Structure 1
Amino acid sequence: MELRHLRYFAVLAEELHFGRAAERLHMAQPPLSQRIRDLERELGVRLFDRARPRIQLTEAGALLLEHTRPVLAGVETAREAMRRLRPGEAGVLRVGVPPDTHPPVLRTLNELFSRRVPDVLVDLHELTTDEQLLRLREGELDAGVVRHPCDLVGLESGPKARRDLGVVLRTDHPCARDGGPVRLRELSGASLVIFPRAMAPQLYDHILLTCRDSGFLPGAIRHARNPHFVHGLVLAGRGVHLNEAPTAPLTDGLTWRPLDGTDLAWLTSVVWVPARHNATIAAFAEAVDEGLTETGHLPAGGRRTEPATDRPG
């Protein structure tokens, strides 16, 4: 017994007229009559009395209708639930962004996405890369904006955008005095202020490995995730911090210098579960890519040479 045959039967039971039922079902009358005969043959009963001027349900037909209606209603409920699970279908796209995402990036991607998909609201969640990957796999997010390298097993990624890293120093640090680029080996022995490893394990390991290979062996590792706390530690002389050029003036006493001779960079992209990808997620990925480009990011293969001066904006 096929579900579509039950639907044909239910529509005919409501109309009690083959012509009107066929019109509702967007099919010709002969195929509808054949499907009803097939159903009667399969069940071994007559469902309709065709001897009268207007067809009528038989007793067996009336009993089948009582069982069919809940089945069809349940199927429609299941379909509606699946529609709501599709990203953007319920009018909301749930996405994650890194905790240190700069305000101009958030503003730009929101404006660009709203122009593309005005009837869908972006529900932003401040989450680390690993938190986003977990929630994506558990169906709690529709898309995420993550930093690479990271574990993308079972996920798909859009194009990566690159933003070269520099170093935040106290203005009286020897490497800050000449205003030029800094080589990592010049920082050897200084403490490194970095995000906790749990936030993005693969990226954390990549940064420390690159530092080691470039001759920077930190005297100590200090973990901090809040930008104000990070800068406070650097200002207090407790270490140096690797990050992209600031988009706003740094606190007095701090300066940012580009790095020379290293490929350290934030590599950022949108990720999603392949089975859940749709036009709404595609529009969001495009908005993020354009938003990152407008705020100084380059395609992952590109590289920008930062000026050897403070970056107030």
Structure 2
Amino acid sequence: MDLDLRKLRYFVAVAEEFHFGRAAERLHIAQPVLSRQIRSLEDDLGAEVFDRGRRGTLLTPAGEQLLEDAVPLLASAQALVGRVKSAAQGTQSLTIGFMPGITLTPAMVAFTAHHPGVDVRLLRTSWDDQVAVLLDGRADIGIVRLPIDRQGLKLRPLFREPRVVMVPMGHRLADRTSVAVKELAAEHLLQDPNAVPEWRDVALELQDGRRLAVPVIHQVEEKLELVAAGAGICVLPLSTATFYTRPDVIALRVDDIGPNEVALAWAAARRSRLVHDFAQAAADTLARPHTEEQQPSTHY
């Protein structure tokens, strides 16, 4: 059976809107046409993907699985079309994913000096999608922050840098130049505890089983807004904290926390010479002596 990508796009629209009428408007098609296409997709799959009950349009377990797989598949198909069109037009392009706080300019200058005709594009990523954009083809190569799931990827280490804890102005520790992890044991961490194992091992809210729910956060700006409002603390790489300067949030060195490691990553299946050449340019220009001994300023 061959999956129809158009039907998948229709399905994703309904799944995101949770409403056939709104999805039809978004897709600029009639609602009966959309309903028939979804029924056809369900026939193709041999499974119902929506529960059309009194509670509205909800995903079935099969639909949840389809949504998880369909989004990267559609992104990969779109990236493929873009690469084929570029090749047909006799042009080359390279899309580079990058995490907040990482400056790509030196690597881009070095790369474009040897490849002046290549269309270099940048794609800002987050902790949630820095790997996905590589596997689905939206980015050809990425500068990622570890740890990540390395399956299907090739990695090349670049550097490591200190991490700092972000606290609001007026916090009990705000006048300090550095803190120890144990002094953060009573704080609420606005991120996955596994991302900061040193805090996880001493956190009172985890030991007492009273950890508050953390809202879904996709951007650094959102984390810092919550920190400034007194909702909790977060731990960031030094360069990220420095990039997102604001007067109501303070960065403190944490003496006994491990550094963040930065690396190049790309899909193992890719054989592009441009990917190899950019990786070399990045290694030559970005792998500077960035060590955990560097000291952050107290205030940002």
TM-score, normalisation: structure 1: 0.57
Per the TM alignment, residue 212 of structure 1 is displaced from its structure 2 partner at its CA by 1.7
**DSSP 3-state at the match of 1:285:** helix
1:251 aligned residue: 246
Per the TM alignment, residue 311 of structure 1 is displaced from its structure 2 partner at its CA by 5.6
2:143 aligned residue: 145
Matched, 1:121 2:127: no
- Partner amino acid, structure 1, of 2:181: L
2:228 aligned residue: 235
| Aligned equivalents of 1:163, 1:293: Cα separation in 2 | 11
Per the TM alignment, residue 81 of structure 1 is displaced from its structure 2 partner at its CA by 6.0
1:61 aligned residue: none
Matched, 1:96 2:91: no
| Aligned equivalents of 2:294, 2:245: Cα separation in 1 | 20
Change in CA separation of 1:205 and 1:171 when aligned onto 2, cut-off 3 Å? closer
Change in CA separation of 1:210 and 1:160 when aligned onto 2, cut-off 3 Å? farther
Matches within 5 A, 1:170-249: 170-177=168-175, 179-194=176-191, 204=192, 206-213=194-201, 215-218=202-205, 219-220=211-212, 222-223=214-215, 224-245=217-238, 246-248=241-243
Per the TM alignment, residue 258 of structure 1 is displaced from its structure 2 partner at its CA by 0.7
Matched positions, count:
209
Q: 1:304 aligns with which of 286, 290, 293?
A: 293
Change in CA separation of 1:217 and 1:165 when aligned onto 2, cut-off 3 Å? farther
| Aligned equivalents of 2:161, 2:198: Cα separation in 1 | 16
Matches within 5 A, 1:259-270: 259-263=254-258, 265-270=259-264
| Aligned equivalents of 2:156, 2:188: Cα separation in 1 | 35
Per the TM alignment, residue 192 of structure 1 is displaced from its structure 2 partner at its CA by 1.5
- The 8 Å contact of residues 196 and 235 in structure 2, kept in 1 or not, is answered as no
| Aligned equivalents of 1:311, 1:292: Cα separation in 2 | 26
Larger radius of gyration: 1
Per the TM alignment, residue 252 of structure 1 is displaced from its structure 2 partner at its CA by 2.1
Per the TM alignment, residue 140 of structure 1 is displaced from its structure 2 partner at its CA by 4.0
**DSSP 3-state at the match of 1:153:** coil
| Aligned equivalents of 2:112, 2:280: Cα separation in 1 | 12
TM-score, normalisation: structure 2: 0.59
| Aligned equivalents of 1:107, 1:163: Cα separation in 2 | 18
Extract unaligned runs of 5+ from structure 2.
Answer: 1-82, 206-210
Per the TM alignment, residue 160 of structure 1 is displaced from its structure 2 partner at its CA by 3.8
**DSSP 3-state at the match of 1:150:** coil
| Aligned equivalents of 2:212, 2:285: Cα separation in 1 | 36
1:281 aligned residue: 275
What per-residue deviation string (whole Å, max 9, x for no partner) do you get for residues 116-171 of structure 1?
42221222222335534334334443212222121112221112421211111123
Give the alignment's Cα RMSD to 1 decimal. Answer: 3.1
- The 8 Å contact of residues 190 and 240 in structure 1, kept in 2 or not, is answered as yes
| Aligned equivalents of 2:229, 2:130: Cα separation in 1 | 32
Change in CA separation of 1:261 and 1:143 when aligned onto 2, cut-off 3 Å? same
What per-residue deviation string (whole Å, max 9, x for no partner) do you get for residues 43-80 of structure 1?
xxxxxxxxxxxxxxxxxxxxxxxxxxxxxxxxxxxxx9
| Aligned equivalents of 1:161, 1:281: Cα separation in 2 | 19
**DSSP 3-state at the match of 1:287:** helix
Percent identical: 22
| Aligned equivalents of 2:236, 2:127: Cα separation in 1 | 16
- The 8 Å contact of residues 186 and 216 in structure 1, kept in 2 or not, is answered as no
| Aligned equivalents of 1:247, 1:97: Cα separation in 2 | 16
- The 8 Å contact of residues 97 and 124 in structure 2, kept in 1 or not, is answered as yes
- The 8 Å contact of residues 158 and 263 in structure 2, kept in 1 or not, is answered as yes
